[in-house]
Amino acid sequence: MIGTLWRRLRDRLRRDQLTDELGEELRFHETLLARDRRAEGMDPEEAAWAARRQLGNRTAITEETRSLWSLRWLDDAAQDVRLAARSLRHTPVFTAVAVLTLALGVGANSAMFSVIRGALLRPLPFRDPGSLLLLSYQQRSMAPWGFPAMLDRHFDEVRRGARSFEAIATFATRLATLTRAGDPARLDVVGVSPEFFSVLGVRPGLGRLFDSTEVQGAGAPVAILSDALWRLRFGADSAVLGHTATLDGTPFTIVGVMPARFAFPPDAQLWVPADMRLNPNLIMMRPVMGRLRSGVTEAQALAEFEAVSRRFELVPDEHRENMTARLYPLDSFLVGTARRSLLMLAGAVAFVLLIACANVANLLLMRGAARRQDVAIRAALGAGRGRLVRQLLTESTVLFLAGAAVGVPLAFAGMRGLLALAPAGTIPRTQDIRMDAGVLFFTFGVALITGLTFGLAPALAVTGQGSTASPGHGARTTVSRSRLRAGLVVAEVALALMLLTGAGLMLRSFQRLRAIDLGFHPEHVMSVTVDLPNTKYRDAAAMQDFHDRTLAALGRVPATAAAGAVNWRPLGEAQIEGTFTVEGQAPPEFWVSKPAVSPDYFRAMGIGLLRGRPFSEQDDARAPGVAIVSRSVAQRLWPGADPLGRRISMEDHPQASDWLTVIGVVEDVRQERLTQGPVSAIYQPYRQVGGTYSLSHMSFVARTDAAPRAYATAMRAALRDIDPDLPAQALAPLEELVAVQRLAPLFQARLLAAFSLLALVLAAVGIYGLLAYTVVERTHEIGIRMALGAATGRVVRLILARTLLLAAIGVVLGAGGALAVTRVLSTFLFDTSPTDPVTLCTVSALLLLVALVAGLVPARRATRVDPVLALREG
């Protein structure tokens, strides 16, 4: 059936050729018939006549056959399209406005769709991605999407016990320093269990995977490079195989390079064999993924996983009823929380399209009204209503498709812009995002559907009874049409208000985010972070020595006002946290952050010292232990009393030498995330801290008035002088580093603001268009009023009153809608209620103002109506 239709379509396209061929066929037939007759003895002329008769009516045959090569509906449609195109060309302004409006609406949606398609919808670029699952065994209280992970020893049990999976693998990313391959660099290195690559079903582009001894962590250290790293650091040279470089001071051999499209986990630059950590005291978890055996359902696999998990040996203090085994699709690992944000933006951009469509529907209505005469005449001449509706629908569809065509380049630019502007983490799977046939299909599909939907009402209204009945006036339908137009404008205002409210809330939330008191002053502070590999810095003394020398070097830089060091800098998204003991008190019920700092740290960071003294150069390893507590620690431990001189310890069962005397109180700071409250902290001088764990990761901060770039060069040089193998990480003004956490909200707020601005402009154009048209339509009435002595002010008020009425109805409806819808924003908002009345009032006022301005021009035009002319025309 489809084949026949397809062949028919193909035949239609080459109908002229086929007709020629049929002619040749018939001539050939006739020639042979004539030859037969001549063979029977007829003279040539008679034979020709006889042949022609025997063949039959050639015209009829040709006609009948040609009808096989025709598609009536297609031909009719083609004719309609030609007519539509011609009629659209006759009204270039209307066409341009409508096409541009639609191009913006459709283009924005296509850009968003291309991102969503790549980030959320496209199957992962692995063999049979649907059977790849993440396995998680952790506390039930973790949110449904927390961080799916398992302990290595549980992973090991599932690997040995579960039959539902072809193979399961675990992997974990850590940062490591790459040296002997250009400048030292910190890279995302992924430790993988033996089955990692086979679970994903990927092969290296160059070289090989790990062999059976290497994957066990036995044998010489080896690594596989990402394509990006291979290009960046090894010049895409295939001789790289067998080459050695070092990771955190340990040499390794490169055995393979993965293909460019392979990015799993997304930031991976090197893959190395992971060692299994089966020690029962370790509570570190890693993600685990598995490939379902074919024919096994996810439910069966989960049942088996749960059964196996009941045999797991738990971490002390953990209760089995608090633990839960779960399976997740693998792509959730890549997408994480970005899904919500992308869907929210997609929803917003769909609103923009709806407004654009409403605008164009309104334009079509006005255009239809202007052609009422034309339509009525055609109806009077016998064109059926169906035919007229079809003609008008074709016109609107052509208009929408043209909008889509213009929207495609906009969408392309939009997609590129989104990818370029999105801060890291807000758009996952960027390598899978591209403009392709699917996106084009979406673009034109949306145009087709919206074209038919939003074209239908105007088409029906224009061809409605009143207009077909008499070519003169159709008062009744004018009323219903004007209601429809007003309804569309009200809907536009309502939708625009909802979008504006969303954007307003996001901006307000962003403002609050910016206004957070950090507890320190990042302005004029430069920061750099280093990680000391324990292969080179074997003990605390070596690390402390490095820190001393670095601080001294920074101190020698003339522009340095104060230089300090801290092991985990505030808002670096990490901290060392733990229990502590207070002399003479029961064990405290809260944990504290435990920064190890240099004496000048507080001054360099601008952290206020509330009481006592800061650390000094004398508080070193030989001196008695001292500590500085943050404000909240002092308040909770010694409310109303003097904390100075009190003794605390970081140990649970302190020896005499473990006690630290509190010598000062400083302000609380935000430590991990901006949106988390200030943390309670107990500071120690790094020279009094023994564990390399607390000393290997160190940030140096310097307060300076020098230009950031110049100072960065000085910092880099100072570090290189001390250890040329250490990569300088996150070398930037502290303000910028802190701002990183505001990038995602800023991106969302800006995008939403851009969308709602577009919506506002479209709605304003809609209001303007409607009123301008109303003035034209009511010229007669206005003329009468003016002839009867109405002042121009009264006429202006008449028009503006109508504007405000429409806008007010839209605002009320939109406010209701916003209250219902902005709830989806609550996860994106910081310290801002999704029903924040101030925001709602502000955007409502803004919208009314814009409506008023949009109504002013038509209102002024109304005052210039010449009563005499108006009446004569009427």
Tokens at 454, concatenated: 């939003």
Of 649, 653, 669, 673, residue with least CA distance to 745: 673
Tokens at 634, concatenated: 């002092």
Task: Count each helix (H run) and each strand (E run) in the chain, helices first.
Answer: 27, 25
Residue 29 or 613 with smaller CB distance to another protein: 29
Minimum distance from CB of 259 to another protein (Å)?
A: 43
- Give the range of 7-15, 110-118, 160-168, 266-274 binding another protein by CB under 8 A: 7-15
Give the 3-state secondary structure of residue 578: strand
Residue 56 or 578 with smaller CB distance to another protein: 56
Examine residue 61 and tell whether it contacts another protein (CB under 8 A).
yes
Residue 33 or 360 with smaller CB distance to another protein: 33
Residue 60 or 788 with smaller CB distance to another protein: 60
CB 484 within 8 A of CB 365: yes
Residue 60 or 93 with smaller CB distance to another protein: 60
Q: In 30-49, which positions are buried (b, 16+ CB within 10 angstroms) versus exposed (e)? A: beebbeebbeeebeeeebbe
Minimum distance from CB of 80 to another protein (Å)?
A: 25
Residue 64 or 517 with smaller CB distance to another protein: 64
Residue 58 or 536 with smaller CB distance to another protein: 58
Residue 71 or 334 with smaller CB distance to another protein: 71
Residue choice 38, 65, 228, 267 for contact with another protein (CB under 8 A): 65
Q: How far is CA 111 from CA 354, 405, 419, 442, 498, in A?
A: 16, 13, 10, 11, 21
- Give the range of 64-72, 193-201, 273-281, 831-839 binding another protein by CB under 8 A: 64-72
Residue with tokens 């006549």: 49
CB 865 within 8 A of CB 781: no
- Give the range of 1-9, 349-357, 543-551, 592-600 binding another protein by CB under 8 A: 1-9
Residue 40 or 317 with smaller CB distance to another protein: 40
- Give residues 25-54 in contact with another protein (rule: CB under 8 A): 25-26, 28-29, 32-33, 50, 54
CB 394 within 8 A of CB 89: no
Per-residue mark of binding to another protein, 556-595 (x: CB under 8 A): ----------------------------------------
Q: Annotate 626-653 with DSSP letters as a single string.
A: EEEEEHHHHHHHSTTS--TT-EEESSSS
Residue 58 or 371 with smaller CB distance to another protein: 58
Main-chain dihedrals φ then ψ at residue 649, nearest 5 degrees = -145, 150
- Give the range of 6-14, 285-293, 428-436, 656-664 binding another protein by CB under 8 A: 6-14
Residue 54 or 470 with smaller CB distance to another protein: 54
Minimum distance from CB of 78 to another protein (Å)?
A: 20
- Give residues 403-442 in contact with another protein (rule: CB under 8 A): none
Minimum distance from CB of 62 to another protein (Å)?
A: 8
Residue with tokens 């040296």: 179
- Give the range of 3-11, 74-82, 290-298, 697-705 binding another protein by CB under 8 A: 3-11
Of 452, 415, 444, 417, residue with least CA distance to 432: 415
DSSP-derived secondary structure letter, 72: H
Residue 65 or 833 with smaller CB distance to another protein: 65
Amino acid at 269: Q
Residue choice 16, 21, 523, 873 for contact with another protein (CB under 8 A): 21
* CA 362/CA 354 separation, integer angstroms: 12
Examine residue 55 and tell whether it contacts another protein (CB under 8 A).
yes
- Give the range of 18-26, 408-416, 590-598, 613-621 binding another protein by CB under 8 A: 18-26
Examine residue 15 and tell whether it contacts another protein (CB under 8 A).
no
Residue choice 16, 64, 781, 831 for contact with another protein (CB under 8 A): 64
* CA 786/CA 782 separation, integer angstroms: 6
Residue 36 or 651 with smaller CB distance to another protein: 36
Residue choice 15, 58, 720, 780 for contact with another protein (CB under 8 A): 58
* CA 304/CA 749 separation, integer angstroms: 45
Examine residue 13 and tell whether it contacts another protein (CB under 8 A).
no
Q: Which residues contact 592 (CB under 8 A, 6 or more apart)?
A: 577, 578, 580, 633, 679, 680, 681, 682
- Give residues 671-710 in contact with another protein (rule: CB under 8 A): none
Phi-psi region of 57 (alpha: psi -120 to 50; beta: other; left: phi over 0): beta
- Give the range of 20-28, 389-397, 480-488, 786-794 binding another protein by CB under 8 A: 20-28
Residue choice 17, 20, 44, 56 for contact with another protein (CB under 8 A): 56
Amino acid at 60: A
* CA 162/CA 173 separation, integer angstroms: 25
Residue 74 or 96 with smaller CB distance to another protein: 74
Examine residue 657 and tell whether it contacts another protein (CB under 8 A).
no
Rounded to 5 degrees, what angle do the CA atoms 486, 479, 772 make?
Answer: 50
Residue 488 neighbours by CB distance under 10 Å: 24
Q: For strand 132-139 and strand 525-531, is the pairing parallel, antiparallel, or unpaired?
A: unpaired
Residue choice 13, 68, 377, 623 for contact with another protein (CB under 8 A): 68
Beta-bridge partners for 716: none
Count of residues engaged in binding another protein, rule: CB under 8 A: 27
Examine residue 4 and tell whether it contacts another protein (CB under 8 A).
yes
Rounded to 5 degrees, what angle do the CA atoms 471, 474, 478 make?
Answer: 135
Cα-Cα end-to-end distance for the chain:
58
Residue 50 or 541 with smaller CB distance to another protein: 50
Phi-psi region of 13 (alpha: psi -120 to 50; beta: other; left: phi over 0): alpha
CB 434 within 8 A of CB 118: yes
Minimum distance from CB of 22 to another protein (Å)?
A: 7
Tokens at 269, concatenated: 């630059």
Residue 73 or 420 with smaller CB distance to another protein: 73
Examine residue 71 and tell whether it contacts another protein (CB under 8 A).
no
Minimum distance from CB of 13 to another protein (Å)?
A: 13
Q: Would you say the C-alpha torsion 552, 556, 562, 567 has a positive or negative sign? A: negative
- Give the range of 59-67, 322-330, 384-392, 542-550 binding another protein by CB under 8 A: 59-67
Minimum distance from CB of 40 to another protein (Å)?
A: 9
Would you call the peptide bond into 265 cis, given omega within 30 degrees of 0 as the criterion?
Answer: yes
Strands (E), 266-305: 270-273, 285-286, 288-292
Tokens at 599, concatenated: 């004496």
Minimum distance from CB of 79 to another protein (Å)?
A: 23
Alpha helix ranges (H) inside 91-147: 92-116
Q: For the chain, how many residues are written?
A: 874
Minimum distance from CB of 28 to another protein (Å)?
A: 5
Tokens at 249, concatenated: 């001071």
Residue 28 or 590 with smaller CB distance to another protein: 28
Residue choice 16, 20, 24, 573 for contact with another protein (CB under 8 A): 24
Residue choice 44, 49, 57, 853 for contact with another protein (CB under 8 A): 57
- Give the range of 16-24, 259-267, 333-341, 863-871 binding another protein by CB under 8 A: 16-24
Minimum distance from CB of 71 to another protein (Å)?
A: 11
Rounded to 5 degrees, what angle do the CA atoms 79, 82, 87 make?
Answer: 125
Residue choice 15, 22, 231, 416 for contact with another protein (CB under 8 A): 22
Binding stretches for another protein (CB under 8 A): 3-4, 7-8, 11, 18, 21-22, 24-26, 28-29, 32-33, 50, 54-58, 60-61, 64-65, 68-69
